[in-house]
Amino acid sequence: MALVNQFLAGAVAIASLLLLWFLFMAGSSKQSNKAWAQLVVVGISPGDGPLSWAFALAKSVISMQETMREGYEKFSKANKPFALPTMWIRGAVLVLPPSKLGLLNKPRNELSSFNALLENAQFQYLMSDKDVWGNTIHFDIVRRHLREKDMSSLTKIMFEEWQGAFQTYWGDSKEGRVIKAWDSMVRIIARAALRIMVGLPGCRNEDYLEQSRLYANAVLVDACLINCLPPGIRPVAGPVIALRAKYYERKLLNLLIPLVEERLFQYRHGVGSQRDSQGDVIEWLIEVSENHGPEQLTAKKIAGRILALTSMFVFAIGWVFVHVVLDIHCSPSSDKIVRTLMAECQQISAQYQELSSKEAIDKLYRLDSAVRESMRLNDVMVHLLPLDIISGQPVNIGEGIQISAESGLRTVFPAQMIHHDQDIYQNPERFDAFRFSREHETSSNEEPTTAKRESVTTVSTTFLPFGYGRHACPGRWFVAYMVKQATAYALLHYDVEVTKSPRKRASLLNFMLPPQKAELRVTRRQ
């Protein structure tokens, strides 16, 4: 079933549950925390009763974007916080203005995103092993092995997968081939991503690749649907919704456990293998697990941690790649954009023999700008960077309001609205491929200067897809280099025509629906 159809089918079921819940729970929906008395709740007028709260929570499933936009224009731009009703927590989150992004530099023992991210991912329903999702030692490999300096070796490894991946999913037809943009490009990314996860030959196992894609989609869709349910219903409905993800989890574990067992044998007995010299996620997880006790050093546990990273490696990177390609080719200026980017890729490829090195990818300034611009336009979520205050002194959020660990309030930032703010970005709804490289260019034929250039991995108060402060994504270089390599390959080897444009973007609660219906005609260049 197509991803969007899965969302729609789930939405119908959710609507039925919401109606029953609305009637039953209306009397207990109003926020009782006294801190809310000082805040304006967008969508609810002062003095409104419990029914208004219940209605606002139910409405948040389909109107989060509009409500956030209203609050941003009225309050965030006036440097004021506001409360946003959301079914996610059956209450409201506290939306902080951009001026408070500095809070993200506070120590993690005072301000934490851990519980919020777990609740958003709904792993307690979607993953069988509580220790895997509750004890996230697998994130250590992102911090240790996916840093900027690690890209020197990883770009060479990823480069080996593009030709086979594109030929498999885009083909080599000189007459053109119509494909589903979302499905084909997520598969392409999966091929290279899984090379880094399990190495050769596992990454080229079509069954493993397809099950990984289906699992990543199931985790995404099912988590979103569970978040749309009232929390009181989730313990009953959550396990039912999660049956599909659990099914793919079992299939993937059956494929992964033998791979991990073989690696564990090699590791324990010092037996060599043909894996990449840089290593892969299996090897890195073995090293990390050994430092956390023998109970972590089992094939099933390590395989479970690979699954926990699969959605990030497959879906998240695929999301960026799909939108970059669609933005380039849907733009009214697509011909000029494609010519400019092709010329840059051809020039750098000739200079470095190919685009397999970090040094070569670093020279793709205009392509980097196009990727950054696409990420600005296409947030995965309406609000980002959820935080809970867990200790320390109360935090002043303005308007004489202070919040503390005792308040029990969860804060978020209006990232999507910041990225579409016309006071920050000129013509913010337009894809301007060279928005971030133009001011550094001296002529169309010269290399842009590097002085104070914001690359796709540069986080700032006006660019938040990769987070901010101490909560910036440590794996952002991996995402950036993979997407730039894949996009460059597509530009150099294929003519692309959008035959079915993506629909207007819509949200389901906080999650933006992917461009599932978009189609492309791809023709292999001579």
Cβ neighbours for 481, distance < 8 A, ≥ 6 positions apart: 151, 154, 155, 158, 358, 361
Burial of 484 (0-12, 13-18, 19+ CB in 10 A): buried
Greatest Cα pair distance, the chain, in angstroms, is 71
Q: How far, in Å, CA of 406 to CA of 425, rounded?
A: 38
Burial of 373 (0-12, 13-18, 19+ CB in 10 A): buried
Is the bond into 448 cis (omega within 30 degrees of 0)? no
Cβ neighbours for 149, distance < 8 A, ≥ 6 positions apart: none
Cβ neighbours for 213, distance < 8 A, ≥ 6 positions apart: 186, 187, 190, 314
Cα–chain center distance at 266: 34
Going by the annotation, the residues of the binding site for heme are: 473
Task: Classify 25 as helix, strand or coil.
Answer: helix
Q: How far, in Å, CA of 203 to CA of 192, rounded?
A: 8
Going by the annotation, the residues of the binding site are: 473
Burial of 56 (0-12, 13-18, 19+ CB in 10 A): buried
Burial of 504 (0-12, 13-18, 19+ CB in 10 A): exposed
Virtual CA dihedral for 518, 516, 305, 161, nearest 10 degrees?
Answer: -20
Residue linked to tokens 């919401």: 18
- C-alpha separations of 510 from 104, 323, 463, 514 in Å: 21, 18, 18, 13
Tokens of 416: 């999507």
Residue linked to tokens 């003095």: 47
Which backbone phi and psi does 403 adopt, to 5 degrees?
-125, 150
Tokens of 276: 């990449």
Q: How far, in Å, CA of 207 to CA of 505, rounded?
A: 32
Which backbone phi and psi does 497 adopt, to 5 degrees?
-130, 130
Tokens of 131: 């220790």
**Spatial contact of 101 and 468, defined as CB atoms under 8 Å apart:** yes
Closest by alpha carbon to 388, among 373, 404, 368, 372? 404
Q: How far, in Å, CA of 210 to CA of 236, rounded?
A: 30
